[in-house]
Each structure stands twice: as C-alpha cells, then as structure tokens.
C-alpha cells in the first residue's frame, strides 16, 4: 500500500469547546467543522502535560512526560530523542516540512539550534510573531524582512503589545500560505509528504487578531466563566494568585469578556486559514491520498474556576483539546470516537499510516485503529504537571507544585502535591461537566476514586523508575570489585 501524505495542523492553547463540531455556538468555525464531519472527531483527547514544551515533546516523540524527560516550559528535549518526523523521512521516504512553531525544547535553545533529530527537510520555524526575530531559523521574520520591513520593525519595537496584526501579514496567514505553496509543489511528486502547519494562535495575549474578525463574534453569546462550588486545592489557589497573566481577582468581568472575545476572534481567523489550506489540498487533487490531523497542544482556562491560561490546575478547559482526523477510504465520515485519546498518540498514528513499526513509542496508540474500534488500550488517560509552568515573576513555583490527573470515560481524579500538602479533586464529568463539585472523599464514589488513584500510583511508580539518578557514580573496575560471596 502506498503511504499517505500527512498534513498536520496544530494550534496553540485551544480548548476543545471552541469548535462548532464540539457544540460551541458562539465562535464561527465552519471549516474546522467540515473537517470533523468528513472524518473522525475524538470526544476525549487529553494532553500529556498542560504546558507547551512538555506537551509537544510528547506529541512528537510518542512518549509520556517521564519517557522524554521534558517536564517544564524551559526544558530541552534530550539530544538522543527522535521525533517521529525523522523516521518518516529516513525510513519511509517522506519529504517533511515545518511552517511555524515546534517548541519541543525551550525557546532559548530553539532560536539558536535545531534538535539533531527533528527530521524536517524544510524548517521554517517561528515560535510566535514577535519572539526570536533574529533567529536564523525564523521563517516568518525572514519573510517580513523581504515583504513588510515596517511591520517587522513594529514587532521588534512593540513585541506582544503590537495589536491587531494586518490579515495579509499575520503569522497564521503566512503559515497557511507556506503550507499551500508546499502542497502545490508536491502535487506532481510520487514522494509522500508530511507537512506541519503549526500556529501560535489563539495563545495569549489575545489581541493580535485582524480587527475585522471582532465582528465575527456575537458578544452577547460569550459565556460567563465557570465558578467552582467547592473549596479548591491550595495549588489551584496559588495559581489564581500568582498567574503570569495576572491575579484573577484584579480583573473585572468586562476585562475577562474582552479576553474571551479576542480568543474567539483569533479562532475565527484561524478557521479561515485552515479552510484555505484544505481547499488547496482539494485543488491539488491530493485530498483522497492525505491523512489530515488537527489538534492543539493544550487549552486555556479563560477565567473558568478563577484561572487564566494554563498551569497546575488540571481542569478540562486546560487538559481537553480538539482532535480530528480525516482520511478518505480509511475513516468513515461522521465518526464520533469516545475512546481515551492522548496527544502522544499522534506519533504512532503517523508511523502506522506510513507502514512503520511503532515500537519506538510503545505508549502511543494508533488513532485510526482507535477510531475504527472506538476503544483504546489504556484504561485511563494521564496528564502530569511537574512544576511545569512559571508564575507572575517568570520563575518556577517555589515550593514546587505537582499535579497528576487520571480520567476514565466518566470520572476524573487529580492529585495535587506541594510543600508536603497532598489534596485531591474528583469530578463526575457526566453529571458535572464543568467540574464544579469535588466528590473526593464521598463514600458513594470511593470505588472509582480508589481505581483512579491506583492508576495515578502506577504512573508515579513508572515515573520514579525512569527518572535519571541525581548522584554521579564511580563504578569499580574489575580490580576494585569486592568479593562478597561467602559460599
């Protein structure tokens, strides 16, 4: 069988409930919705970590957080790790291209050096519009340097405070344009391709969207933030007080609605760019032979539960992301998969589609097979936060905060640990999808809580076994070894 082309579209910080295909009625996403209607929509995709770098390291290696050792936003992917894109190129003959964000290592490292096993033939990297502009890998900045030097100067001068980027110069349109050009260049080729269109939006600061797209959002329909009805763990309260976006209590309802409006407008703009790319795939006659994968690396609280952005609090707006696959002839249009998918499953999916073995990522599952049988091999999905994000001072939390979440089809347990204090939250996602009432300790749910706690304990045990030793070793040579046997 001829391996398919693979087009992977990835957004940054997009929660699952922002697409019409998932029930959203206040953000127009017709192109995303048509993509989902033409293939498989995964109802329960959980990220491996709620922060960019660890989550993306899992997606591209196919490993849970302990497997690749990237725990925090500024960690670097070890040089011996191999992205699945390299295997596609070397073992299956794919031509590979990146347009946009990778972020499997810290931004400080990625702006100066590529990972030795990233596997991309074309590497037009850009973390976000106004960051690392001088990087030799920054394809977006290089394009602006040639076509719009005044706007590039404005980005350099104003950074994230440069608002409402012009549509024609927007990073998302640039990434779509470059993806379209790449697809068109491959239409006569017999060589299969893997193309990653990786976008920065709808990531904060929420106001880089082209101004015209504000009119796409009906402000009257913007939902109010979810409010928890039970006392939240100490870790969550620390995040509320020390979020790098600002202390939640300092924001007015109007300011939170403005954040939500900007977030939604960015998604409406992204939808148009995705539609352009999918149309180009059709026009090139490649849609039938292309596996399209869409997902995000994590979500955004947007004020829900008294929280912004992402962090230690493992509520669904952060951990639950959209995931859709379209592969004509292999996946039935209109499939709704309720199996427990995870971000790291993308690796095995791409390798399996290319006809390669998946032994390099044994904890990654083929999403195509998962959708066909509507079942996963895992009994629960795990998300692990390991002091992964930063606080309002730009530093890692001290004392460190850890959180481990396990969820099945209905219930979700999160175990929080910091400074010797351990606390739990248990939610029934069927009767309380907004996670407002903590059921931990309720005798009625003791059995399911114990089961999920066991899944967390197993994950922690495996994590401890995989951890590198902190101490150095001085191993005795043959002459220095002691004779210990007494019989």
Encode pLDDT of 109-139 as tens digits. Answer: 999 999 999 999 999 999 999 999 999 999 9
- Domain assignment present for residue 412? The answer is no
Percentage of the chain lying above the pLDDT 70 cut:
99
Phi, psi of 196 (to 5 degrees): -110, 110
Please classify residue 244 by burial: count the beta carbons closer than 10 Å to its beta carbon, then call 0-12 exposed, 13-18 middle and 19+ buried. middle
Per-residue model confidence as pLDDT tens digits over 384-403 = 999 999 999 999 999 999 99
Rounded to the nearest integer, the mean pLDDT of the chain is 96
CATH number of the domain within which 374 lies = 3.40.720.10
Report the run of H or E that residue 259 belongs to, with start and end. Answer: helix 253-283
Q: In 10 A of CB 442, how many CB atoms?
A: 12
- Domain assignment present for residue 388? The answer is no
- Domain assignment present for residue 190? The answer is yes
Q: Which residue, 231, 299, 369, 239, is CA-closest to 49? A: 299
Higher-scoring residue by pLDDT: 475, 398: 398
Q: Is the pLDDT of residue 476 over 80?
A: no
Per-residue model confidence as pLDDT tens digits over 444-458 = 999 999 999 999 999
Per-residue model confidence as pLDDT tens digits over 352-388 = 999 999 999 999 999 999 999 999 999 999 999 999 9
What average pLDDT score do residues 34-59 get?
A: 98
Per-residue model confidence as pLDDT tens digits over 204-254 = 999 999 999 999 999 999 999 999 999 999 999 999 999 999 999 999 999
Query: Is residue 70 very low, low, confident or very high in pLDDT (cuts 50, 70, 90)?
Result: very high
pLDDT for 80 equals 96
Q: Is the pLDDT of residue 481 over 80?
A: no
- Domain assignment present for residue 418? The answer is no
Domain limits at 167?
5-379
Per-residue model confidence as pLDDT tens digits over 437-446 = 999 999 999 9
Size of the chain in residues: 487
pLDDT for 480 equals 76
- Domain assignment present for residue 161? The answer is yes
Q: Apex CA 352: angle with CA 351 and CA 354, to 5°? A: 65
What average pLDDT score do residues 135-161 get?
A: 97
Task: Please tell me the total count of domains within the chain.
Answer: 1
Report the run of H or E that residue 415 belongs to, with start and end. Answer: strand 411-418
Alpha-carbon distance 231 to 306, whole Å? 12
Q: Which residue has the tokens 């790319």?
A: 277
Q: Is the pLDDT of residue 473 over 70?
A: no
- Domain assignment present for residue 28? The answer is yes
- Domain assignment present for residue 411? The answer is no
pLDDT for 53 equals 97
Q: State the sign of the Cα–Cα–Cα–Cα dihedral 218, 220, 225, 230.
A: negative
Q: Is the pLDDT of residue 483 over 80?
A: no
Alpha-carbon distance 118 to 109, whole Å? 14
Q: Is the pLDDT of residue 486 over 70?
A: no
Report CA Rg, the chain: 22
- Domain assignment present for residue 424? The answer is no
Query: Is residue 469 very low, low, confident or very high in pLDDT (cuts 50, 70, 90)?
Result: confident
pLDDT for 352 equals 98
Q: Which residue, 190, 151, 183, 187, is CA-closest to 170? A: 151
Query: Is residue 12 very low, low, confident or very high in pLDDT (cuts 50, 70, 90)?
Result: very high
pLDDT for 487 equals 63
Would you list the DSSP string of 111-141? TT---TT---SEEEE-SSTTSSTT-TTBHHH
């Amino acid at each position: 069988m001829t391996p398919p082309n693979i087009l992977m579209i990835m957004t940054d910080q997009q929660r699952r409930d922002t697409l019409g295909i998932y029930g959203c009625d206040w953000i127009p996403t017709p192109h995303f919705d048509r993509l989902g209607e033409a293939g498989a929509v995964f109802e329960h995709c959980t990220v491996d970590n709620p922060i960019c770098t660890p989550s993306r390291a899992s997606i591209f290696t196919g490993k849970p957080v302990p497997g690749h050792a990237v725990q925090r936003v500024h960690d670097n992917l070890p040089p011996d790790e191999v992205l699945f894109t390299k295997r596609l190129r070397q073992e299956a003959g794919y031509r590979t291209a990146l347009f946009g964000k990778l972020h499997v290592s810290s931004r400080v490292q990625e702006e100066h050096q590529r990972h030795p096993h990233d596997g991309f033939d074309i590497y037009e990297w850009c973390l976000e519009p106004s960051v690392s502009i001088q990087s030799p890998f920054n394809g977006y900045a290089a394009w602006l340097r040639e076509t719009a030097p005044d706007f590039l100067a404005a980005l350099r001068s104003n950074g994230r405070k440069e608002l409402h980027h012009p549509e024609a110069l927007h990073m998302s349109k640039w990434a779509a344009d470059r993806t379209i050009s790449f697809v068109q260049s491959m239409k006569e080729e017999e060589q299969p391709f893997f193309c990653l269109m990786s976008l920065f939006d709808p990531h904060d600061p929420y106001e880089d969207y082209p101004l015209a797209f504000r009119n796409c959002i009906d402000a009257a329909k913007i939902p109010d933030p979810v409010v928890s009805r039970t006392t939240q763990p100490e870790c969550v309260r620390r995040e509320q007080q020390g979020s790098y976006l600002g202390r939640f209590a300092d924001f007015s309802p109007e300011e939170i609605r403005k954040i939500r409006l900007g977030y939604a407008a960015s998604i409406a703009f992204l939808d148009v760019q995705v539609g352009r790319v999918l149309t180009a795939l059709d026009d090139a006659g490649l849609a039938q032979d292309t596996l399209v994968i869409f997902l995000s690396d994590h979500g955004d609280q947007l004020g829900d539960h008294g929280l912004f952005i992402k962090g230690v609090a493992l509520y669904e707006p952060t951990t639950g992301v959209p995931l859709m696959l379209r592969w004509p002839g292999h996946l039935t249009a209109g499939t709704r998969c309720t199996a427990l998918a995870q971000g790291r499953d993308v690796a095995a999916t791409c390798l399996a589609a290319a006809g390669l073995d998946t032994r390099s990522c044994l904890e990654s599952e083929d999403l195509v097979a998962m959708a066909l049988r509507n079942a996963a091999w895992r009994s629960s999905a795990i998300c692990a936060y390991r002091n992964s994000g930063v606080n309002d001072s730009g530093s890692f939390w001290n004392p460190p905060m850890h959180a481990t979440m396990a969820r099945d089809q209905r219930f979700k347990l999160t175990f929080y640990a910091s400074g010797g204090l351990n606390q739990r939250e248990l939610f029934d996602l069927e009767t309380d999808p907004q996670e407002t009432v903590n059921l931990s300790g309720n005798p009625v749910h003791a059995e399911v809580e114990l089961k999920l706690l066991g899944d967390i304990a197993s994950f922690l045990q495996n994590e401890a076994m995989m951890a590198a030793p902190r101490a150095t070793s001085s191993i005795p040579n043959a002459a220095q070894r002691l004779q210990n046997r007494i019989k």
